[in-house]
Amino acid sequence: MKTILVPIDFSSQSKHALDLAAQMAGKGRIKIEVINIIEGLTPSSFNTMGEGATNYTEDEFFLKQLYDKTKENLHNLIGQGKYSGLNISATVVVGNPYQSIAKAIADYNADLVVMGTKGSSGIDEVLIGSNTEKVVRYAKCPVITLKSDVDFSKMKHIVLATNLNEPQPTVVKEIKKLQHLTGAKIHLVKVNTPNNFHTQRQSEAEFEKYVQTYSFDNYDTCLYNATSEEDGILSYAEDVQADLIAIGTHGRTGLLHLLSGSIAEDLVNHSQIPVWTLSLKK
């Protein structure tokens, strides 16, 4: 891992994300790229770095002041003593939040995105979702989302949720990197639901094939019965006192996403512990 991207909006959740990235980076071994995104500036007056013409309208003048103040606040944030010695830089960009994050992932060749989220629920979750959900859905690299402070040194139990049927070489490769960093035990779980029921014997055979295919070390397996996959994953994570949930996401879009939903995005919204995701399309 060479580069971690951290989107910052100055919320407590995003600051927790920066703290986690700092813990993962160590002292200068991994570069941290911090970005803050300002929406609302017109492309005709500003480029994505906040530079533009001098003949601002009243609204553009206000937004330019906001840009300058945000840049100052961002550099004050990363200049705190607890980030001393880290290879860290910060940029304010202008534009659509998801598109700006996607561009930053490509521009910085990010290996990981760490971002805070408040989650969403109710009608917002169904119809709108959040920028975090969009990043989880489309990102070309792993994404860790979190709602509260995380002690990376105490990350010793990782739940990896799988249906055991879909090929997941990249997901397993990347989660093994995280396991190597933490020394954590991997808890492989498949959730058995009434609508997608598998017998114990069938699941044991699938687990054996899965483990042999991907050569896991320091792991255990569990077939967990629940009414839904999300509920089963959350309950199992609580049972094993997991520090992180990991899952691949299909990145469904449009009507298919509206009808089928996304277990990964549901977990991001509802889990109280960090959630690690990676698109299965990567």
Evaluate if residue 232 carries a pLDDT over 60: yes
> Could you report the per-residue pLDDT of 126-171, keeping only the tens digit for each?
333 467 888 988 899 999 999 999 999 999 999 999 999 888 899 9
Average of per-residue pLDDT across 213-226: 97
Residue burial 179-215, b: 16+ Cβ < 10 Å; e: rest: beebebbbbbbbbbeeeeebeeeebeebbeebbeebe
**74 phi and psi angles, rounded to 5 deg:** -65, -45
Check residue 72 and give its pLDDT. Answer: 96
The gap from C-alpha 162 to its chain's centroid, in whole angstroms, comes to: 17
The full set of domain ranges for the chain reads: 3-116, 152-279
Check residue 131 and give its pLDDT. Answer: 78
Evaluate if residue 175 carries a pLDDT over 60: yes
- In angstroms, the CA 161 to CA 246 distance is 6
119, HSE (Cβ side, Cα atoms, 13 Å): 16
Query: Is-contact 129 136, C-beta < 8 A?
Result: no
- What SS3 state is found at 59? helix
Does this chain's domain 3-116 share its CATH topology with 152-279? yes
Q: Which residues contact 241 (CB under 8 A, 6 or more apart)?
A: 157
Average of per-residue pLDDT across 6-34: 94
Query: Is-contact 160 246, C-beta < 8 A?
Result: yes
Check residue 264 and give its pLDDT. Answer: 92
What value does the mean pLDDT of the chain take?
87
Nearest by Cα to 219 from 232, 208, 228 = 208
Check residue 120 and give its pLDDT. Answer: 55
Check residue 19 and give its pLDDT. Answer: 98
Q: Which pLDDT band, with edges at 50, 70 and 90, does 29 fall under?
A: confident
The model's pTM: 0.88
Evaluate if residue 240 carries a pLDDT over 90: yes
**CATH of region 152-279:** 3.40.50.620
- In angstroms, the CA 143 to CA 53 distance is 36
Check residue 41 and give its pLDDT. Answer: 56
Q: Which pLDDT band, with edges at 50, 70 and 90, does 51 fall under?
A: low
Domain 3-116: top CATH class: alpha beta
> Could you report the per-residue pLDDT of 30-42, keeping only the tens digit for each?
999 999 999 865 5
